[in-house]
Structure 1
């Protein structure tokens, strides 16, 4: 019963995600590295599939956890300029006010970005304020490994006709 009460706010918020994504298509310039390195500014696009599932968090309802809070696992497969998979966690909260909710997520991406192989972490912050969405997806500083060490950038998500795509503006230090 507790999981079912929590699934309703999560489902309501997930129904709002296409609106968040549709209104969050502002193109971001990837920040340049703050280190004393020359960075290449790049742009990557492609499609992805995502599977969200309620997390098996085994929270005891007697702990007083608010049923408006939810937790989901994220499993993505990226295609295009980014050939990768990701695993992550999403926390969400809904309110009594229709059209107001929020979520945060962290996902670890592992694969190849335009020929550069490694991993990096994406941090999501999504807010729906009385139906007005905002979404920010940013590479966590210094999270890049392998050939993606030094990666910085921002990603936008677009959902059109049920198909998910990404638009990723990023920078990598130039190799010497």
Structure 2
């Protein structure tokens, strides 16, 4: 009876250890994500202001003229919470139906964001589906430098009466 009980306790403890190990392995990522999410929420900031943009058409890259893609350089000046200058490139294509188009762009923003100096890269993905716009602008992961190292976030753009405005929701570690 003693041997049976000893083996049973050993198996129970081994089973408990395996269950605990399996649960801890399964729960660890959840805990880490939850902790990162809580930290992420505590470091959320908002910035807003105006910007001016100059788009300059460029020649198509050699060999792809037949693709009928538009190519432009971006030269942008930000004012408000983001005091910065950006340079970048944009590619675009028109759809076969009026009001349909798409564009992608990459720009490096350098300056001061709410008093923190550095740079980061914004990536744009935009479509117009028969007049209905969809735009996503987000910070390229790990593109932040200096005091903006680790920045992440998304930017929205609003154009009113010919003026451009931005709203930037971002996180810093």
TM band (smaller chain): 0.7 to 0.9
Residues 1:49 and 2:52 are matched in the alignment: yes
CA drift at 1:35? 9.1
* Map of 2:107 onto structure 1: 107
* Map of 2:172 onto structure 1: 172
Alpha-carbon spacing, 1:58–1:104, altered in 2? closer, same or farther (3 Å) = closer
CA drift at 1:55? 1.7
CA RMSD of aligned residues (A): 2.2
Decide whether the 8 Å contact of 1:48 with 1:79 is kept in 2: yes
1:121-156 C-alpha deviation (Å, 9 max, x unpaired): 000000011111100000000100000001000000
Point out the structure with max Rg over C-alpha.
2
Aligned residues: 139
SS in 2 for 1:147: helix
For 2:37 and 2:74, locate their aligned partners in 1 and report how far apart those are by CA, in whole Å: 32
Stretches of structure 2 lacking an aligned partner (at least 5 in a row): 1-33
SS in 1 for 2:142: coil
Stretches of structure 1 lacking an aligned partner (at least 5 in a row): 1-31
What are the residue-to-residue correspondences of 1:9-158 with 2, within 5 Å?
Answer: 40-57=43-60, 59=62, 65-67=66-68, 69-158=69-158
For 2:35 and 2:78, locate their aligned partners in 1 and report how far apart those are by CA, in whole Å: 25
Comparing 35-44 and 117-126, the one that deviates more? 35-44
What's the TM-score, normalizing by structure 1?
Answer: 0.73
CA drift at 1:95? 1.6
Greater fraction of residues in helix:
2
Alpha-carbon spacing, 1:131–1:36, altered in 2? closer, same or farther (3 Å) = closer
CA drift at 1:59? 2.8
SS in 2 for 1:65: helix
Give the structure, 1 or 2, with the largest relative contact order (CA under 8 Å, sep 6 or more). 1
For 1:58 and 1:141, locate their aligned partners in 2 and report how far apart those are by CA, in whole Å: 27
What's the TM-score, normalizing by structure 2?
Answer: 0.74
Alpha-carbon spacing, 1:98–1:48, altered in 2? closer, same or farther (3 Å) = same
Decide whether the 8 Å contact of 1:33 with 1:171 is kept in 2: no
